[in-house]
Amino acid sequence: MHYLDIVFPLLFRFYNPLVSEGGRGWLLTILLRTKPLFHAALSLSAYHQKKLLAVDNSNENVSDTLPDLEGHHILTLVELRRHIDSLKISRGTMTRKTQVEVLACMIHLISFEVFRGGNDEWQTHLHAARVLFYDTRDSFIIESSSVKASVPPTLVASHSELDTTVSTCLSSHETKALDFFSSALVWFDILSCVTTRVRPTYPEVFSSLLYIEDGRIQLCKLMGCKNWVMVLIMEIAILDDWRRASDDSGKLSLRELVRRAACIEERLTMGIKTMLEKPISIHRDPCGIRSSESRSVTYIFACSALTYLHVIVSGARPDLPEIRECVSKSIKAFQSLPDPTWVRHLVWPFCIAGCMAATDEEDAFRDIASAAFLDGQIFGNFETALEIMEQCWRGRRSQQQGCNTWD
């Protein structure tokens, strides 16, 4: 129960389904029947307990948790290998069911690495999950001509019109599990692209899924941020990849770079304007009762996306007016969050805005981070983000050129 009551909410702070939506019963069902997933959950719980004991300076108890942590992690990998083997030889309904279970395991392995602040190990699991997700994409989309975008038409690039269909070969709990872990995969994959600067593998598929109004993948239900912002963050990653490739080949057109960036910037700014002007409606918003908190989180991601976009075009120069404006808005947005601990789950936008902070804004970010961790519990890669920010600030003060770009 430690995993269900404590660890899972730490991983997915904004996931709080209503009883009418089925609650979280599906999670317990899939945990109990899937051995590798069960051990993955126990690994996460053991690690969390280890960190809590370390905070309490109970060193003897910390050492006692290590065998459980390592043992469950090994069992996760062993049982996952068996599951993958069964996936290869099974057919029909069992194939899709096993795919859901393996995808769930992959997401938990990624979560384990992120939870303990890992930098590289999760990439292997993400690649495997990405391939598996692509095989299940037909569970979400079929050709349709009646889809409406969840954002204004001016925000939508040209995408195929797609609709969703519930897979008839899965139970309701399995379908909820597929929706949840597929959403988590899309989230991890997009943020992976902008943190590792690797071109997205399936941008067309992701965009099509995320632009479906009332679609089964609603990232705000898991992570608080609306789909349209994450699509544009993915497009910024694609732009960055194009810019670097063009620069390396000596064929970079600054005019084309500015044109492409301006298109994304317009969609971001219009999306922000539309969102802030639109009355909150829990009945019409795909995020439902989460619509209010989703607006705050989405705004923060959008501001940092704009900062990221400006850096790609003009370089990492905090003195630029457009960057200063975005960072200033980010600071106010972080300070205005209903709960300061939410910052723990907003690592990417916090790091992006923080790295571009002017000298007189550095303490504001330190204060925001301190307020988020008054209980002394720091999990995940937030510590890594703080280290990157401090390193960037020190480098800029010492005039190191390494802080003039993202490289």
* Residue 81: how many other CB atoms lie within 10 Å: 11
* CB half-sphere exposure, 193, CA atoms < 13 A: 25
* Residue 116: how many other CB atoms lie within 10 Å: 19
CB 177 within 8 A of CB 222: no
Tokens 């602040």 belong to: 117
Residues 6 or more apart in contact with residue 11 via CB below 8 angstroms: 44, 111, 115
How many angstroms separate the CA atoms of 247 and 313, rounded?
12
Structural domain contains residue 33 = no
How many angstroms separate the CA atoms of 101 and 108, rounded?
11
Structural domain contains residue 405 = yes
How many angstroms separate the CA atoms of 343 and 191, rounded?
16
Query: 149 - beta bridge partners?
Result: 212
Tokens 């975008």 belong to: 149
Q: Is the pLDDT of residue 63 over 60?
A: no
How many angstroms separate the CA atoms of 191 and 210, rounded?
15
CB 325 within 8 A of CB 332: no
pLDDT bin (cut points 50, 70, 90) of residue 239 is very high
Structural domain contains residue 323 = yes
Structural domain contains residue 306 = yes
pLDDT on residue 158: 37
Structural domain contains residue 305 = yes
Structural domain contains residue 352 = yes
Q: What mean pLDDT is predicted for residues 351-357?
A: 97
> Regarding predicted confidence, which is higher, 149 or 255?
255
| 33-37, 118-122, 226-230: range with lowest mean pLDDT | 118-122
Q: pLDDT for 264-308, tens place per residue?
A: 999 999 999 999 998 877 666 667 667 788 899 999 999 999 999
Structural domain contains residue 286 = yes
Tokens representing 266 are: 């317009």
> Regarding predicted confidence, which is higher, 365 or 52?
365
**What is the percent of the chain where pLDDT is above 90?**
40
User: Domain range spanning residue 347?
Assistant: 241-407
pLDDT bin (cut points 50, 70, 90) of residue 151 is very low
* CA diameter of the chain: 63
How many angstroms separate the CA atoms of 52 and 68, rounded?
15
Q: 3-state SS of 267-279?
A: HHHHHHHHHHHCC
| 212 secondary structure, DSSP code | B
| 21 secondary structure, DSSP code | G
pTM of the model: 0.85
| 86-100, 138-152, 186-200: range with lowest mean pLDDT | 138-152
Tokens 């960072």 belong to: 327
Of 33, 124, 36, 46, the residue nearest 75 (C-alpha): 36
Q: What mean pLDDT is predicted for residues 24-36?
A: 89
* Number of domains present in the structure of the chain: 1
pLDDT bin (cut points 50, 70, 90) of residue 146 is very low
| 97-101, 241-245, 277-281: range with lowest mean pLDDT | 277-281
> Buried b vs exposed e over 179-202: b needs ≥16 C-beta within 10 Å?
bbbbbbbbbbbbbbbbbeeeebbb
Structural domain contains residue 297 = yes
Q: pLDDT for 178-192, tens place per residue?
A: 999 999 999 999 999
Q: What angle do CA 263, 269, 271 make, to 5 degrees?
A: 100
| 154-163, 246-255, 380-389: range with lowest mean pLDDT | 154-163
* Mean residue pLDDT across the chain: 81
